[in-house]
A and B are shown apart, each in its own frame.
Chain A
Amino acid sequence: MIEVKNLQKSFGESHILKGITTSFNKGKTNLIIGQSGSGKTVFLKCLLGLFDYESGSISYDGKIFSQLSEDEKRNLRAEIGMVFQGSALFDSMTIAENVMFPLRMFTKQSKSEMSERVDFVLNRVNLENAHDKMPSEASGGMQKRVAIARAIVNNPKYLFCDEPNSGLDPKTAIVIDNLIQEITEEYQITTVINSHDMNSVMEIGEKIVFLKDGLKAWEGSNKTIFKTDNEVVTDFVYSSNLFKKVRKMYLEENG
């Protein structure tokens, strides 16, 4: 479980995060949503320890990140998997080498043990025959699946995904969403996804944190988001006619 208390972050005079308090649960897909410029990416980078913050605290299963020693922070980072928006695969390595990378860096496994584990996770993301391809030879969806495989290969306790569906067609986006949700449940990972894809919100948003202007404007789930009358949320989530109709139908069916 990740707990965030009163998190504040500024860049010069510009206050990006103005005191966010929330928590992300183990074994659940937690989504951070909000308009562009609402502070989602900065929030995610603070959670990852890539940005320092002025005040507040972030704790990982009770361990407050800012109070950890450098060694403890390094050990904690080895328990984190991250799927970047652009996949961030190492373009000088093959797909198998990319997935093997965290194992080579952080474990003392033999080459055959590492290869076995790589085979297993590549199978898990349905990429059985892509070992020797270079990232540039893979499609956007394949690259995302490789990024997920690399993120989970070392059995992380925490998985972060920044816009995992951006640039993907709707069908592939659903495959990626379902894959993340299955992996989260299967390995009981605390997963935090930064997204503004409303399909993802409805499909896998077991917990949703809505940010607006650096503040938490709403918190709920894909079940409660249909019923909320918070104008800020409804303006954003139901801005398209399609979602307005979906919401109307849901409310008619479920009261």
Chain B
Amino acid sequence: MTYLSNIGAYFLMIAEMFRKPTKWSVMKQLILKDIDDLIIGSLGIVSFISFFVGGVVTIQTALNVDSPLIPKYLVGFATRQSIVLEFAPTFMSIIMAGKVGSFITSSIGTMRVTEQIDALEVMGINSLNYLVFPKFIALMLYPFVISIAMFLGILGGMAACVYGGFSSLEDYIVGIQTDFIPFHITYAFIKTIVFAFLLATIPSFHGYYMKGGALEVGKASTTSFVWTSVLIILLNYLLTQMLLS
């Protein structure tokens, strides 16, 4: 029953988020601040993880297909497919659920605990529009982050492949161009947009509706990470089934 009630409250929150818009001059600044916090602030960790995971994917592939019958360019092909289809959109989103999601939950949760949300409501401001809508708009730039993750993942794979001596640069480049299906990029970005929506709204929901004090802010951050991750994994399965099979 609690789950159903929470699902209902979540959809009501989304509807409320679009009502009674905040003055554009104020909203513009909130969006820019959230782009800085959520998008620009994530580029460092995303770049670091993507580059090295790309390298690890390449090494693992190269070590596990060590047969003279398998062409050397397969390493590049497998790395591209892993990075573009799953690693960048899905697993990077789970990492972002930890980084961006817990930031959103704890910042909104702290505002709830310290009555800052009540202060907005007393002033007649739609606090959901003021707090959640800019995050939703900022995270619509999330595909930009994922593009960088894709590029750096493939670049990291190339570095590991060439400098690790698993295949030549030419073979790797042939591999990443082999059997390229443009729809795979579209599929990856459709997933990214859906996950961006989850990343903006689920942590906001857990922060906005939390009750209690500082300890509960921590608990809400953990719960929001768990639920965001679970929903990303579930929707990843559904979207893959719908779009690729």
Contacts and interface: CB of A to CB of B under 8 A. Distances in A.
Interface of A: 48-50, 73-78, 80, 82, 84-86, 88-92, 102, 104-106, 160
A104 B23 CA distance: 9
28 contacts: A48-B122, A49-B122, A50-B121, A74-B20, A74-B124, A76-B124, A77-B124, A82-B123, A84-B115, A84-B118, A85-B115, A86-B114, A86-B115, A88-B118, A88-B119, A89-B116, A90-B116, A90-B119, A91-B114, A102-B123, A104-B23, A104-B25, A105-B22, A105-B26, A105-B123, A105-B125, A106-B123, A160-B122
B122 A82 contact: yes
Interface residues of B, number: 17
Interface string B92-120: 00000000000000000010001110110
Contacts, number: 50
A73 B114 CA distance: 24
Contacts of B110: 91
Contact of B122 (A80, A90, A105, A106): A80
Given A49-B122, A78-B124, 19 more contacts: A48-B122, A50-B118, A73-B124, A74-B20, A77-B122, A77-B123, A84-B118, A86-B114, A88-B114, A88-B118, A89-B116, A91-B116, A92-B33, A102-B123, A105-B23, A105-B123, A105-B125, A106-B124, A160-B122
A40 to B, nearest CB: 15
B161 to A, nearest CB: 45
B119 A78 contact: no
B123 A78 contact: yes
